[in-house]
Structure 1
Amino acid sequence: MDITDLRFLVAEDDDFQRRWLTIMLSNLGAKNIVEAADGLAALQVLQDKNTSIDISLIDLNMPGMDGIELIRHIAKENHPGSIILASALDRSLLFSVETMSKAYGVDLLGTIEKPATPEALTALLKSYHPRVDKHDATAKLPSFTFADIHRGLLNREFDPRFQPKVDLANGQVKGAEAFTCWNHPEFGAVSPSTFIPLLEEFGEMEAFAFQVIEKSIAACIDWHQHGHPIAVSINLSPTCLSNPEFADRIIDFIATQDIEPQYLIIEVTESSAITNLPYFLESLARLRMKGFGISVDDYGTGHSSLQQLLRIPFSELKIDRSFVAGASVNPALETVLSASLEVCRKLNKQSVAVGVETQQDWDFLRKLGCTYAQGYYIAKPMDGKTLPLWMDEWSQFF
């Protein structure tokens, strides 16, 4: 989105700092900037129905209502805009506030440490994407029933789209992750956040997962036939993997296909590592033993210890986007990101940085020695037939 179309709020009590942030925004092309000298004045601006703020730059240590309290009010009132923290406070404190903001559900683009620079501000603004109000997005959708879900499965309406995963060292495409949407005949594309809970509730998760596996493997075989021998990654829920018979179905299915197990990577979330269910671990151990890849997704967002994580026989660790975006200008994030990559190196595992959205992210991850990158800077998810064409074009740059 063009920065000239965005409305900014600068909440900063120091006159010089407030003016400097405003000048930087103006120099970058911003035309609509509102200033506030404290948290209460900023909240009043955000509550004004005639003023729609897209991005708020918030100082934390302000008199009266400070920035931390302001963020709580922003979350409570479900303000749709994004925020950027601007502060000179201790890095560990900033990291705590960042974690708090995300836990509140606020769209945090990142933190600028004072004195702010145009380069740091530009990097964070590039990661901005307008938020869609969840209530607006689902207002036209009905309450889907078991019959709706079952019919969708019978008609094979759940289709994966694939986002490429690229080797940071040489730019080669090494794999693609499947993201599935429901192509409903009446309501169009229905997001996973709507149908996944229903699949769990109605006991249809295994049927859904296997359909995604079938379609993804068919696409993967097609890529191989077009000269692109890459792997496909599919996220499976603990519900599926807690049934050893489901793992057997995957193994038996791949044995009938013209493809080796190594080209299917099973993704599980980090929180799954906390479970102590023997069936879950049995499924993963058998799949890994048969040559399938196992990837731990969203690493860093769960509450598992490294000891719990090591229960999973993983071959790949996917570092959550919250530790990737803005890490090049945020020393606290850089520390966490570097530590995660060091874990991968020490354990001889592949590392994947998710949410790579800028050239700065790409360059920084290369410098830190991350193995793979995935994100909008490289490509958005696309259908299986388009991916080989995209790979042909991408290869021309390396």
Structure 2
Amino acid sequence: MDTQIELSPLIRRFGVLVVDDSAVQRHSAVELLRGMGVEQLYEAADGHDALKLLRMLQPTPAVILLDLEMPGMDGIETAQQLVQEENCPSLLIASSAEPSILNAVAGMAEALGLPLLGTLRKPLTQQTLSLALAHFESTHVKGVAATPPPQVAVPALAEALQQRQIIPYYQPKIRMADGEVAGLEALARWRQPDGKLVPPVSFIEVAEKNGLIDELTLTILDQVLHDLVRWHALGFNPTVAINVSAPSLSDRGFGNAIIERTAAANIPPSAIVLEITESALVGDLAAALGTLGRLRLKGFGLSIDDYGTGFSSMQQLSRLPFSELKLDGSFVRHSPDKWQLRTILEAAVSMGQRLGLATVAEGVETQKELALLYSLGCEYAQGYLIAAPMPAAELPAWAGRERERLQGICRLAAASRGG
């Protein structure tokens, strides 16, 4: 018996537009939706008709249920055109196409910023439809019309750096073998005098383009070192990862500054892990190798961040002195349900192990993802399942309060593997 999930009132009220060239398939989908309590239902036979209808309808339907294989404008082109629409419904793709094609289209939709509910293989059932539509609230809030936050002015950023308004928030990383907090990632957050936070997307690129990124990184490092001194006195001894930008790797003085400041704080270099994205290695490789080599020689940890999203290869990884490989969250998300992502994760973890690198998965949000990573042999996990980023002052209490829960989710992950 199918289990029906309560639909969002917005879907019930504003309805669904079903786009399919088959009248039989459209009718079947409409009847399923009507049986789920959707009040407003609209139909279109191809992408052209769907776009015309969307522009006419007020209010816009909450969801568009879109077939891929249609004459005229197919579903892929229709999805691409939806980006241009002033009011874009949440998108649910339904097709008989093979899973690899559905995954590719889903990736395209996400890259375009479309509010994607998911992909379904035909024939549709009330259960598969209701499960997909249950994701409506989160995609509706995001919305395709959302605009990125405005970038800040350079003088304002320079002043914020001088006044130490940019501070580290720490996201914990746990060891999956026992659930203990093994490390933290320091993430730059700009807290204004009124208490409001400026998102990193508004100022990191500005810093990189205007010669402020070294100062920003070193400002974060100074505060991390200060926090480590206090934590060590409390018996809390995590490693802390700091993100390093591509332009900084080309500057010999930047590497010297890290070495000197860490020594002055009397913190062992092994307590600091420098995270470098793959894309940072496609510029001045000779300069980057020199900086990374010196830092690794001094005992700093080096992590290749967002692995799988850049241009690295086995050969390049073997040439660089990394100690850690960090798997990008885009491969972790939904991996329990997509065999392609599981295959990529398995290959990445295996490669890291062969190269003698610690493997860290970021973006872990569900117990199923943690269990899969455990089964693949990934050593560390980071993400909202463990904790959101937090100020330094909150960490010791959080670690004590959450220790039992973290151990519990790791035991559950191990048991899932065994079961």
TM-score using structure 1 length:
0.84
SS at match of 2:78: helix
In 2: Cα distance, 1:284 partner to 1:144 partner: 31
Distance 1:108 1:303, change over 3 A: farther
What's the counterpart of residue 212 of structure 1? Answer: 220
Aligned match of 1:323: 331
1:165 matched to 2:173? The reply is yes
1:337-348 aligned at under 5 Å gives the runs 337-348=345-356
Query: What's the secondary structure of 1:296's corresponding residue?
Result: strand
The share of aligned pairs that are identical, in percent, is 35
Which residue is 1:185 aligned to?
Answer: 193
| AA in 2 matched with 1:228 | F
1:125 to 111, 116, 135: 135
TM-aligned CA distance change 1:241 to 1:82, over 3 Å: farther
**1:103-149 C-alpha deviation (Å, 9 max, x unpaired):** 434354654455678589469939946327786664xx6x7443222
Q: Does 1:50 align with 2:59?
A: yes
2:390 is equivalent to residue 382 of structure 1:
yes
Counterpart of 1:4? Answer: 8
Deviation, 1:60, is: 2.5
**Alpha carbons 1:238, 1:272 under 8 Å: kept:** yes
Q: 1:274-300 CA distances to partner (integer Å, 9 max, x unpaired)?
A: 234311111111111222111111112
Larger radius of gyration: 2
- Distance in structure 1 (CA, Å) of the matches to 2:32 and 2:323: 44
How much has 1:243 moved relative to structure 2? 0.7
Change (3 A) 1:70 1:21: farther
Provide the C-alpha distance between the structure 2 equivalents of 1:12 and 1:77, rounded to a whole number of angstroms: 16
Q: Which residue does 2:288 correspond to in 1? A: 280
Q: How does 1:62-211 map to 2 (within 5 A)?
A: 62-77=70-85, 83-108=91-116, 111-113=119-121, 121=131, 125=135, 128=138, 130-131=141-142, 138=149, 144-185=152-193, 188-211=196-219
| Pair 1:274–1:5, CA change in 2 (3 A) | farther
- 3-state SS of 1:76 partner: coil
**CA distance 1:91–1:314, change in 2 (3 Å):** farther
Change (3 A) 1:376 1:23: farther
**Secondary structure at 1:396 match in 2:** helix
Q: Distance in 1 between matches of 2:100 and 2:391?
A: 42
2:270 is equivalent to residue 266 of structure 1? no
Number of residue pairs the alignment of both structures matches: 389
Q: 1:79 to 1:179 in 2, by over 3 A?
A: farther
Unaligned runs of 5+ in 2: 1-5, 408-419
- Equivalent residue in structure 2 for 1:18, among 20, 29, 36: 29
Instruction: In structure 2, give the amino acid aligned to 1:51.
Output: T
**Residue equivalent to 2:400:** 392
Contact 1:181-1:189 within 8 A present in 2 as well:
yes
- C-alpha change, 1:377 and 1:6, in structure 2 (3 Å) is farther
CA RMSD of aligned residues (A): 3.4
Matched, 1:233 2:237: no
Q: How far apart are 1:158 and its partner, in Å?
A: 0.5
Q: Which 10-residue stretch deviates more, 195-204 or 283-292? A: 195-204
For the pair 1:257 / 2:268, whether they are aligned, the reply is: no
Letter in 1 for 2:252: P
> Which range is displaced more, 350-359 or 93-102?
93-102
Cα shift at 1:43: 4.0
Match of 1:298 in 2: 306
What is the CA–CA distance in structure 1 between the aligned matches of 2:191 and 2:345, rounded to whole Å? 36
Q: 1:386 to 1:59 in 2, by over 3 A?
A: farther
1:285-338 deviation per Cα after TM superposition (whole angstroms, max 9, x unaligned) = 111122211111111222333323444322222222221111111122222222
| 1:20-39 paired onto structure 2 within 5 Å | 22=33, 26=36, 36=43, 38-39=45-46
Q: Which amino acid aligns with 2:288?
A: F
The answer as to whether partners of 1:265 and 1:292 remain within 8 angstroms in 2 is yes
User: What SS does structure 2 have at the residue aligned with 1:152?
Assistant: helix
Are 1:324 and 1:361, in contact at CA under 8 Å, matched by a contact in 2?
A: yes
The change in CA–CA distance for 1:68 and 1:278 in structure 2 (over 3 A counts) is same
* Residues 224 and 124 (structure 1), Cα distance of their counterparts in 2 relative to 1, 3 Å cut: farther
TM-score (norm: length of structure 2): 0.80
